[in-house]
Amino acid sequence: MKNIDSYTHLRGESVYLDDIPLINGTLYAAVFDSPVAHGKIISLETRDAMKMPGVVSIFTVKDIPGENQIGGIVPDEELLVGEHVHFCGMPIALLVAETEEMARLAIKKISVEIEPLPVITDPRIAKEKGELIIPPRTFKIGDTTAAWAQCEYVFEGSTETNGQEHLYIETQGAYAVPQENGVIKIYSSTQGPTVVQRTAARVLNIPMHQIEVDTTRIGGGFGGKEDQATTWAVMCALATYHLKRPVKYSLQRMEDMRMTGKRHPYSSDFKIGLDKDLKILAYEATFYQNAGAAADLSPAVMERTLFHCTSSYFVPNVKATAYSCRTHLPPNTAFRGFGGPQGMFVIEAAIAKAAEALSIDAAVIQQKNLLHTGDEFPYGQKAVSEANECWNKAVELYDLEKLKKEIRDFNEANKFYKKGLALMPICFGISFTKTLMNQARSLVHVYTDGSVGISTGAVEMGQGVNTKILQVAATIFSIDPAKIKINTTNTYRIANTSPSAASATADLNGKATEIACNAILTRLKQVAADEFKTELSSVELKEEWVYINGEKTGWDWKKLVMATFVKRISLSEHAHYTPAHIHFDLTKEKGHPFAYHVYGTAIITVTIDCLRGIYEFDSVKVVHDFGNSMNMMIDIGQCEGGIVQGIGWMTMEEIVYDKEGNLRTNALSTYKVPDIYSVPKEIAIHFLETQKDNLAIFRSKAVGEPPLLYGLGAYFALRNAVKAFNPAAAIPFDAPMTPEKVLMSLYLQRLKDSSINSIKEVMEK
């Protein structure tokens, strides 16, 4: 089935925040943010701004009726600066004017005097100074100290992975509208309507039932709107609270890039030990997470780094420690993969280092150590693994040996173009790592004309969750999908929702919908059973007709619905779902946190131009464990998007903050994201239909985040291509591998090494 949004998307009719018709009298907000990364506010001057045309009001910390606090996991983040600024871009004042232009012009007239304080941007320095968001955590299995002695080979190293800008097409924004009796309705471009509701209530000091949050869909989130949509929604609500007028704020791209957090950069150390058969016996890792100035979701992201530190491999002795380090950058936040990719990069780097030192193919080590069913993860859960199935199928289906030969031949035949290849096996745990967040509700109404309306906590952000939920209802009722409407996500209809995140949205909300539909279906069938004087078990609904013992009756869906209504039997259901069996003991760092895991293997090939350092990805060939996909088109879309986003992170997207904590890459002219030309020439996706029992909706496994991990292979393919040109290249494990870095690694070592004095000489040799 096509994504149900494709029709309105194509016609430009899909409603995003900026498409909501505005009410007469709407005002526009703009935020004045800190130009300094760390300091104490001496004075704030707003008088000139107040005199600007159209300015209605300027709010500061003094105007907050409740708590000046938006921190979710740790209460350490102010909505508006109190005394100290902690990052460039931290909101200091909220200005409201008659038009958007007036607001943005007036904001320039605000000035602030800040006494600067020392700025930390490096997580390792923050850790040395004791600037930690939460105490460090360690995951352990076996005994690494004892294991080193049994290792034939031991390698150590360090890695860096940079941040990543979400670049959702729709920037952050919200529109708050006053209702009667002090209620505020907030249209928010958020992945987490309940987070917005809860935080607005806290800041305004009013009960949650006074805040209605409504989201039709969002123009992408990628994790960036799991927590950080809240700021802008609460800003609008604050102004509405005081002015009793509708207030809208839709951020410009540069405001968004400057003021919001990104994927967490990590700096990490590893030590890996292998036996003579190349089995990994021991692995130690230390992760320094650059959390930015406040916790935001960093503790949860850090936790997922630990959960995924051994990636798709079984390692019997592991010790991994993570530090969430407070720096003076905008608080970093959720981003597709949620810390998992950062952890997995490190073990892949460790394997690459071992392979390079032993002059063997990294794939040999990767393959020998893939997880098998029954293997224990460092956190205690036992794997139900598809890792070997995916790997073996990829090797066979895409003829790895032939691919390798083609690359060898190409590299021998070409002097200034070189190809590289890497395999990337993945394993990603599905569930919120915080167990309590794994719950969802669905409200299903069957109307008397036979049409159906569904509300859940799921937010549609392009990932197709609404289509999947609609498919659940269409399948259970066995009715035409056109009869079903998925309603907006609204906190008045569905309460206490978890954000749409962790790739689990379709599983959680889909299963709640399944339960609700089944409850209604049972009541409908009972009505039919009574009418046809038979048992409930004899009744079946097929393609909108009632069947008794396999015989079609004269009753269709509509007639059955009406008969049920006439009998005064409920045609509505509100259902609750939570996956059984998941748990985690924080005191032991052991448990069974994930409903299941998603596996896959990608083979990635790249060609570099050794004169220019630029490169093109020839192909990404994937065997992915979809379980039993309920929507192949949507799932392919998620794979392709994830792969390209992952490649972008690993190769071209380079976030640069200067020492003063200013974002230098604050626009699309300085921050390069993948475009159509940088997409691999071929992306092949093979559906491994795995029939093993799992907790996925209709056994169709979660697909939102895992494919991003294939992008890690792009880094290692590039490395191998560089090595084909310059075997001596000492390439630091420092992602992204931009064309500049490729060029340097092609030549730098050679220049350093020898009597060669110029790149020209290198090329001549």
Among 38, 86, 304, 493, binds ligand HPA (CB under 6 A): 304
Q: DSSP states of 219-238 as a string?
A: S--TTTTTSTTHHHHHHHHH
* Residue closest to ligand MOS when measured from CB atoms: 223
409-448 positions binding ligand HPA, by CB under 6 A: 432-434, 437
Q: Report how far apart, in Å, the C-alpha atoms of 622 and of each of 136, 234, 354, 443, 640 are.
A: 36, 42, 25, 37, 10
Instruction: Give the whole-angstrom CA distance, residue 723 versus residue 738.
Output: 16
Nearest distance in Å: CB 148, ligand MTE = 37
CA-nearest of 307, 310, 301, 255 to 91 is 255
Interface with ligand HPA: number of residues (CB under 6 A): 12
Q: 647-666: string of b/e by CB count within 10 Å (b at 16+)?
A: bbbbbbbbbebeeebbbebb
Is residue 638 close enough to count as binding ligand MTE by CB under 6 A?
Answer: yes
For the bound state, the minimum distance from the C-beta of residue 134 to ligand HPA, rounded and expressed in Å, comes to: 14
| C-alpha dihedral sign at 482, 483, 488, 494 | negative
- CB contact at 8 A, 425 and 387: yes
What tokens does 3 get?
Answer: 């994504």
Cα(162)–Cα(170) distance, integer angstroms: 23
Measured from the CB atom, the residue of 464 and 739 that comes closer to ligand MOS is: 464
The residues, ordered by sequence, that sit 6+ positions from 720 with a Cβ below 8 Å of its Cβ are 420, 421, 422
CB 573 within 8 A of CB 520: yes
Contact in structure between 701 and 627 (CB atoms under 8 Å)? yes
The catalytic residue among 115, 705, 740, 761 is 705
256 is a site residue for ligand MOS (CB under 6 A): no
- From candidates 462, 627, 680, 711, binder to ligand MTE by CB under 6 A: 462
Query: Which pair of structure tokens corresponds to residue 601?
Result: 């293997």
Contact 393, 332 (CB under 8 A): no
Interface with ligand MOS, residue 16, by CB under 6 A: no
Comparing CB distances to ligand MTE, the nearer of 627 and 704 is 704
Q: Which of 202, 308, 328, 336 binds ligand MOS (CB under 6 A)?
A: 336
Contact 92/85 with Cβ under 8 angstroms?
yes
**What x-and-dash track marks residues 483-502 binding ligand MOS by CB under 6 A?**
------------------xx
- For helices 465-477 and 505-531, the axis angle rounded to 10 degrees is 20
Closer residue to ligand MTE (CB): 233 or 731 = 233
User: Is residue 589 among the annotated active site residues?
Assistant: no
Residue with tokens 């020839």: 618
Beta carbon nearer to ligand HPA, 95 or 300? 300
Contacts with ligand MOS in 209-248 (CB under 6 A)?
221, 223, 226
Q: Which is nearer to ligand MTE, 555 or 596 (CB)?
A: 596
Indicate whether 295 belongs to the interface with ligand HPA (CB under 6 A). no
* Minimum separation from the CB atom of position 501 to ligand MOS (A): 3
| Interacting residues with ligand MOS between 151 and 210 (CB under 6 A) | 191
User: Could you tell me which stretch among 36-44, 177-185, 333-341, 477-485 binds ligand MOS (CB under 6 A)?
Assistant: 333-341
Q: In the range 497-516, which residues lie near ligand MTE by CB under 6 A? A: 500-506
**463 scored as a contact of ligand MTE (CB under 6 A):** yes
- Distance, in Å, from the CA atom of 601 to the CA atom of 537, rounded to the nearest integer, reads 44
Positions marked catalytic: 705
Binding-site ranges for ligand MOS (CB under 6 A): 191, 221, 223, 226, 334-336, 338, 501-502, 705
Where along the sequence are the contacts to ligand HPA (CB under 6 A)?
A: 226, 297, 300, 304, 334, 338, 432-434, 437, 501-502
Q: Which residues would be at the binding site for ligand MTE (CB under 6 A)? A: 220-223, 336, 461-463, 465, 500-506, 638, 641, 702, 704-705
